[in-house]
């Protein structure tokens, strides 16, 4: 009973205090003015910005948040690029890394300040980079790390001093076209053989263009001889009459490419193995580096071509001599006629030879 009375007295006191407009318990006194609104950067501190040389104007978006106890308030925040000295003091000395602020001609900002209206809680600032210029700068001085450090501040509103910087660590690379594998192994079965040689795009998420890459068989004889010497093999250089080099194709939106080749059996000798070294030469799309490695196409030409069949959908239609019920070991059948196409070389089937089960 006493506990109930105490709780009632406490609740009454709080309600009385809240009802007094001039009381020290008013809403704006419960929360100090600097907490009515406070600004901060969502992804602050060191952030990576990876770019490439063919997408020359990539964009990085910085999100600024307006928080606090009163979302109806407006707010205003400015931004500036930190000086080299500020970067050295805030980051360089701590990380022991030679950070360098990029020149102003290598980027542009959508605005120099952000205005929050009532009920607005987030604003986005876009920074456009000129990746080709940054790449040239990086090539001149490879021992430093180029950055763009942005600081947010306000003359009238509170800004979280521990979350008001964005240190963009910049990295620009050339996209590279590489072979998927260093060797492609195949064999002739019919008079014509279609071969696919794949390629990958690196340092770029996907292609924004339809383009091609030329492939060459230059120095074929010398490369085959060198391969045989290194590996102890006896491949023959594939005769030029047996193939025609096409262009490797890349489609918009794809991260891989493909070269289709048709190999003719007529110019090849039976029971011989052939080698065709392939190298990338040039592309129709500027800005790409090419894989310096060789892709070796190996083609076996057996006297009699064989082709394994897909037996997954095969089934027995009729069998009048199936020993699947035989019990003798090890000559018992057990598995039945289905063992003929179960892809298990250790299972078998045979017809009965005397008085067996059907």
Instruction: Round the average pLDDT of the chain to a whole number and report it.
Output: 85
Q: Residue 160's closest CA among 75, 218, 237, 282?
A: 75
Spell out where 265-355 has E strands.
272-283, 289-290, 295-301
Q: Distance from CA of residue 121 to its chain's centroid? A: 32
Grade residue 45 by pLDDT with cuts at 50, 70 and 90.
Answer: very high
Grade residue 162 by pLDDT with cuts at 50, 70 and 90.
Answer: very high
What is the C-alpha to C-alpha distance for residues 259 and 248, in angstroms, rounded to an integer? 4
Q: So what's the pLDDT on residue 15?
A: 41
What is the C-alpha to C-alpha distance for residues 241 and 21, in angstroms, rounded to an integer? 98
Please give the structure tokens belonging to residue 244: 């025609």
DSSP bridge partners of 196 = 260
Q: So what's the pLDDT on residue 314?
A: 85
Asked if 226 and 185 touch (Cβ cutoff 8 Å), the reply is no
Task: Tell me the mean pLDDT in the region 208-214.
Answer: 94
The single residue listed with the structure tokens 């609740």 is 11
Asked if 143 and 86 touch (Cβ cutoff 8 Å), the reply is no
The answer, yes or no, to whether residue 174 has pLDDT greater than 50, is yes
**Cα angle 252, 254, 257; round to 5:** 100
209 CB neighbour count, 10 Å cutoff: 11
Q: So what's the pLDDT on residue 187?
A: 93
What is the C-alpha to C-alpha distance for residues 336 and 334, in angstroms, rounded to an integer? 6
């Amino acid at each position: 009973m006493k506990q109930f009375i105490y709780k009632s007295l406490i609740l009454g006191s709080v309600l009385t205090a809240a009802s007094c407009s001039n009381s020290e318990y008013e809403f704006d006194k419960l929360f100090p003015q600097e907490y009515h609104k406070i600004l901060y950067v969502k992804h602050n501190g060191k952030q990576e910005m990876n770019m490439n040389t063919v997408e020359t104007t990539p964009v990085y978006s910085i999100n600024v948040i307006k928080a606090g106890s009163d979302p109806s308030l407006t707010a205003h925040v400015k931004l500036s690029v930190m000086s080299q000295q500020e970067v050295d003091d805030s980051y360089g000395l701590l990380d022991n890394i030679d950070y360098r602020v990029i020149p102003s001609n290598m980027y542009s900002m959508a605005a120099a300040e952000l205005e929050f209206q009532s009920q607005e809680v987030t604003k986005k600032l876009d920074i456009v980079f000129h990746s080709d210029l940054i790449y040239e700068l990086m090539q001149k001085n490879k021992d430093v790390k180029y950055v763009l450090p942005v600081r947010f501040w306000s003359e009238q509103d509170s800004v979280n001093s521990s979350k008001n910087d964005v240190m963009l660590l910049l990295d620009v690379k050339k996209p590279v076209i590489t072979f998927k594998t260093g060797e492609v192994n195949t064999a002739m079965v019919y008079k014509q053989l279609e071969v696919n040689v794949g390629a990958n795009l690196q340092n770029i998420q996907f292609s924004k263009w339809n383009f091609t890459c030329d492939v060459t068989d230059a120095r074929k004889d010398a490369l085959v001889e060198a391969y045989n010497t290194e590996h102890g093999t006896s491949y023959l250089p594939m005769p030029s009459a047996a193939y025609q080099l096409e262009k490797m194709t890349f489609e918009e939106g794809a991260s891989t490419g493909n070269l289709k080749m048709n190999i003719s059996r007529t110019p090849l000798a039976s029971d011989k193995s052939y080698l065709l070294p392939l190298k990338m030469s040039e592309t129709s799309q500027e800005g790409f580096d090419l894989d310096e490695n060789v892709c070796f196409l190996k083609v076996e030409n057996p006297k009699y071509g064989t082709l394994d069949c897909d037996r997954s959908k095969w089934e027995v239609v009729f069998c009048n001599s199936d020993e699947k019920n035989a019990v003798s070991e090890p000559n018992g059948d057990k598995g039945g006629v289905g063992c003929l196409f179960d892809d298990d070389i250790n299972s078998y089937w045979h017809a009965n030879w005397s008085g067996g089960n059907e």
